[in-house]
């Protein structure tokens, strides 16, 4: 192959939508999503997202167990049996807790959305009222000639008392 074809090939592959293998394409990914990395650094990440040296060792062991024909679930259960429940990425049989973990954020989002809609409705309604009555509900009525006469009398009495 000449140099031009080596330069053009990656461009053509990118344009065709064919990307080189990424981290998500690893054969061990199914197991990695089921367990946490429990390294001495306590990174607390799922094995699929961990980049410490221990995670590399876990991946090698997972690949060896896959080569023996074990399923992803069996491999994950072996790791959990060896290292304890803290390695399990999602609790087994969570039941109501799992339902709440999904329902609470959705409910909070729904309440927030309803609150935004209500506030928008109130602002819009207040805007319509302001357009209908530009003076507003607390507007002072204009002064009448009798009011002007009363003010003049009060001012004259004030001047006379000095």
Same domain, 28 and 58: yes
pLDDT reading at 4 higher than 90: no
Q: Is 109 exposed, middle or buried (0-12, 13-18, 19+ CB in 10 A)?
A: exposed
pLDDT at 110: 96
Q: Would residue 44 count as lying in a domain? A: yes
| Model confidence pLDDT, tens digit, residues 7-16 | 444 554 454 5
pLDDT at 32: 81
Number of domains in the chain: 2
Q: Taking all residues of the chain, what is their mean pLDDT, rounded to a whole number?
A: 77
Q: Would residue 149 count as lying in a domain? A: no
Same domain, 114 and 63: no
The CATH number of the domain holding residue 45 is: 1.10.8
Q: Would residue 74 count as lying in a domain? A: yes
Which residue in 79, 77, 75 sits closest to 67, CA to CA? 75
Q: Would residue 68 count as lying in a domain? A: yes
Domain that holds residue 117: 102-136
pLDDT reading at 28 higher than 80: no
User: pTM here?
Assistant: 0.42
Please work out, in degrees rounded to the nearest 5, the angle formed at the alpha carbon of residue 74 by the alpha carbons of 68 and 80: 120
**Cα–chain center distance at 135:** 44
The pair of three-digit structure tokens given for residue 137, joined into one six-digit string:
């509900």
List residues bridging with 46 in a β-sheet.
36
| Model confidence pLDDT, tens digit, residues 66-98 | 899 988 888 888 888 988 888 888 766 556 677
62 in Cβ contact with 31 (< 8 Å) = yes
């Amino acid at each position: 192959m000449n140099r031009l074809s080596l330069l053009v090939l990656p461009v053509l592959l990118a344009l065709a939508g064919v990307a080189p293998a990424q981290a998500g394409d690893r054969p061990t990914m199914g197991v990695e999503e089921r367990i946490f990395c429990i390294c001495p650094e306590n990174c607390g990440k799922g094995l699929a997202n961990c980049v410490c040296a221990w995670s590399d060792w876990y991946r090698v062991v997972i690949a060896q167990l896959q080569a023996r024909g074990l399923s992803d679930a069996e491999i994950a259960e072996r790791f959990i049996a060896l290292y304890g429940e803290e390695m399990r990425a999602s609790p087994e049989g969570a039941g109501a807790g799992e339902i709440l973990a999904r329902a609470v954020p959705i409910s909070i989002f729904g309440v927030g959305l309803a609150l935004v809609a209500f506030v928008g409705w109130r602002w819009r309604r207040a805007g319509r009222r302001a357009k209908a009555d530009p003076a507003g509900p607390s507007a002072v009525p204009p002064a009448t000639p009798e009011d002007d006469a009363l003010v003049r009398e009060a001012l004259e009495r004030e001047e006379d008392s000095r």
